[in-house]
Structure 1
Amino acid sequence: MGDENSEHLALIRRWVAGETVNNAVGIKVVGGPVDGQTKIVLLDEDGTPPAVIRKSGGSAGPVRHAYEAGRSTDARAGWIYAYTGPEPATES
């Protein structure tokens, strides 16, 4: 099991470093309550990440926050997710 764990951790390190492996890549989240985290996403057929992701948590608690994908020459993956703001609360 040690070898499997090592291989898995090596794969995660490659994603976090911005390398595309098996059509997945780690993209830095910029701004908002989860600033600095990395989101590992599957790329679309055209090599682009999902246009919008939603995350909850951070110092704001359970509120969901939206982040939009954008090109970045400063990011190793070539993309970042930039904070666009909290999502409005929905009535159940």
Structure 2
Amino acid sequence: MGSLLLAVIYLAFISLGLPDSLLGSGWPAMQSSLNVPSSYAGYISMTISLMTVISSLFSPHLIKKMAVKWIVIISIALTVCGLLGFSSVNQY
């Protein structure tokens, strides 16, 4: 049971930090393939930050409605969907 909890905590930690670092390290390649100026990374970063604030505002409501286990699972699934979205986009 302890190993499972450790794995869930590790996945939650990775899913929190991965989108931000992905944008920073992947933007040069994305910028050239999408043919957009580098300032467009700010719009993506602003959108990620806005969604983080919105999810933080809704977290007390979600914790009252659902178990924390399911919130973490859904959060990881949404992070995976977002990363797949980053990888499959061919237009800005």
| TM-score for the superposition, normalised by structure 1 | 0.29
Larger relative contact order (Cα-Cα within 8 Å, sequence gap ≥ 6): 2
* Larger-gyration structure (1/2): 2
**The structure with more strand, counted as a fraction of residues:** 1
**The structure with more helix, counted as a fraction of residues:** 2
